[in-house]
Structure 1
């Protein structure tokens, strides 16, 4: 009976974390759609619009490092609750923005508030699931990000059209406060699967952690894939509206298709990681990144909406194939007491990509007088990073002996 209760509890925690990730992406990605009317209201060019999107990731990236350390120190539950409260406050504040500068300031604070959540949620998975199940558990949370991406575009487009972009942020921020109450009662600490619960806990010094090759390889690979992920997520709504001449509702509806492709890729990858790819994860990363790069090339030169969406879907699926694998590796190969810190470093690389990609693409689009081809070429070049880095990744033998110190 006790074992049954423990099993039930871990799936309750997984369920509430799944929903929290969806809300997280609703709050975060709605700006990618809202920036269209915001740019019109505040008379912003593409470079300024890209900066508003990117500035969030600047503070978000730095907070990954701090948030990972704090999660290891104070526990996943406390950091998740604090993060959700803070990002909900700044989501509501976004609706009160009155200028370009105010949006920059609010988005910076938004990133600080949200930055602890990714590492803390990964630590919560490690606290509640054995290593043999962590690939599927983590892929479930990654699937939530694709669901959030899918919902955010169509919901944001519909709400902006009907009630305006300011009310959009008021609604999403209020939802976050209700979510905090649910997390308070459902997210109960359970460290049954920590390898340190029955032994004396030995902390891995930060200096030793920084000497682990896998830490830097994961961060670099996640950086490369995230350049493409955040570049497409940030600019495809504008591209479809301005270049392909879709209205916002049609754009939001079509965005469901790439998100569904990503969802399938995430679920498939989680199953492969746990069942068939132990010690061979680098091949999943390389295949996913290669698919993304080739598909991105064909998407750039596709003439019809159908082909654009088709190759965007393949690009997104390839990216998520690689991303899910990268995000799961710390849960499988790092000792429990540094999972938060290590994951924070890895997410730092991914969110720095979020800070760089939208603004660089906005600058390139402006430089080439509204043409997106050069901006997409930038993404093609960056997807080479995870392919090359994955070649040097060793998980089958070396990782198991060097990650646990």
Structure 2
């Protein structure tokens, strides 16, 4: 009897430690995503003084922002595969270390060409992180909790977006754009040390899934319609998200005559709206939308498109910020759902690879959206209306694709995993 109690007590203690560890990992990944977005999005504000210093036009400025996403997109595919093969922890550590190095190197840039090269390398260094962090969620959380866990990390991206603009604007004004990148790079090195000690490897759910079902070959994964549908939908939503994120700071400063600090402060409002949308979506996915996730995607994309139209035609700063907030909230409604679906419906041993493919679609959007918008703005003599119209058209992609989504035929594993 006493032996049985000891066994039960040991199991309870083990479960308690496991539960505690998974939330520690979620917390440190949350912090890592915030730092990731500080490093990545600070360029959207820094490009304003950089363009002045190097005498860049809108097309060149857009290319500097876009070129990061070109290498970042390609690395999504490689990084997802490497994460499945070598584990989430190893790839996260390598990625954070590399992006910190290239963040510092950005501060040493001396020309347009040097910025292009550094940003390309930056994308390679950072490209493994999204898929690896998603795999870390799958390694530490059962399927019934993955929607909320993934939405927590997506929430970190909105917080990173929210504070990066105002922090970058304040630092650029006080210490210059070069020192901004030096500080963020050092922050990344400190994060690498924290991750090394706190991000403990855990393959509990991977091992349980593999013991129940044979591994899914890559060839079979690539034949799944859901993989390509998710990639295409994420591409469409990301065109809007990255287009706005890249050009709204310049639009508000140059077109609406705001100073950089005011622009950064107002940017908090859309980010807060996006954060609320992310948290709400994660809860809905786990509790009420199982098997009906496509309706969340369609709803979010529709809200984004309508809000973009009203933002384009708004006459006051208040209305512009209001509809920008609704646009980003709609985008994050769709994005959170899209990025959670691999954790719900794909075999554990291909989650990293599948996520890498989906992120690839989003980063291709990040690579072309800022450049296309910059070209359209130049083509129409500095007018942003046509560029915003381009974003409205792109919203059609996730709406139409979502109508074809069928989750019941996806690659699944043990439902308790």
User: Which category describes the TM-score, using the shorter chain as reference length?
Assistant: over 0.9
Task: Indicate whether 1:139 and 2:187 are aligned.
Answer: no
Q: Which residue of 2 aligns with 1:398?
A: 409
* Cα distance in 2, alignment partners of residues 263 and 351 from structure 1: 21
Q: Which residue of 2 aligns with 1:90?
A: 102
List runs of 5+ in structure 1 lacking aligned partners. Answer: none
* Cα distance in 2, alignment partners of residues 197 and 361 from structure 1: 44
Q: Which residue of 2 aligns with 1:189?
A: 201
Residue 308 of structure 1: how far off its partner (Å): 0.1
Residue 39 of structure 1: how far off its partner (Å): 0.1
Q: Deviations over 1:139-176 (max 9, x none)?
A: 00000000000010000000000000000000000000
Whether contact under 8 Å (2:37, 2:164) holds in the other structure is: yes
* Cα distance in 2, alignment partners of residues 193 and 145 from structure 1: 25
* Cα distance in 2, alignment partners of residues 342 and 321 from structure 1: 20
* Cα distance in 1, alignment partners of residues 54 and 414 from structure 2: 50
Larger Rg: 2
Matches of residues 329-368 of structure 1 in structure 2 within 5 Å? Answer: 329-368=341-380
Whether contact under 8 Å (2:130, 2:359) holds in the other structure is: yes
User: Structure 1 residues 311, 403: CA separation in 2 closer, same or farther (over 3 Å shift)?
Assistant: farther
Q: Which residue of 1 aligns with 2:51?
A: 39
Q: Which residue of 2 aligns with 1:101?
A: 113
1:273 equivalent among 285, 298, 312: 285
Residue 193 of structure 1: how far off its partner (Å): 2.1
User: Structure 1 residues 197, 390: CA separation in 2 closer, same or farther (over 3 Å shift)?
Assistant: closer
Task: Indicate whether 1:238 and 2:227 are aligned.
Answer: no
Q: Deviations over 1:189-208 (max 9, x none)?
A: 11222264671773322211
* Cα distance in 2, alignment partners of residues 54 and 14 from structure 1: 30
Q: Deviations over 1:200-244 (max 9, x none)?
A: 773322211110000000000000000000000000000000000
* Cα distance in 1, alignment partners of residues 350 and 288 from structure 2: 26
Q: Which residue of 1 aligns with 2:319?
A: 307
* Cα distance in 2, alignment partners of residues 310 and 198 from structure 1: 48
RMSD (Å) for aligned C-alpha atoms: 1.3
* Cα distance in 2, alignment partners of residues 398 and 122 from structure 1: 22
Matches of residues 3-402 of structure 1 in structure 2 within 5 Å? Answer: 3-194=15-206, 196=208, 199=211, 202-395=214-407, 397-399=408-410
Normalising by structure 2, we get a TM-score of 0.95
* Cα distance in 2, alignment partners of residues 47 and 18 from structure 1: 34
* Cα distance in 1, alignment partners of residues 173 and 341 from structure 2: 41
Normalising by structure 1, we get a TM-score of 0.98
Residue 401 of structure 1: how far off its partner (Å): 6.1
Count of residue pairs brought into register by the alignment = 403
User: Structure 1 residues 393, 195: CA separation in 2 closer, same or farther (over 3 Å shift)?
Assistant: farther
Q: Match of 1:199, SS?
A: helix
* Cα distance in 2, alignment partners of residues 214 and 307 from structure 1: 37
Whether contact under 8 Å (1:69, 1:340) holds in the other structure is: yes
* Cα distance in 1, alignment partners of residues 140 and 212 from structure 2: 19
Residue 306 of structure 1: how far off its partner (Å): 0.0
* Cα distance in 2, alignment partners of residues 6 and 332 from structure 1: 21
* Cα distance in 2, alignment partners of residues 191 and 347 from structure 1: 23
Whether contact under 8 Å (2:348, 2:413) holds in the other structure is: no
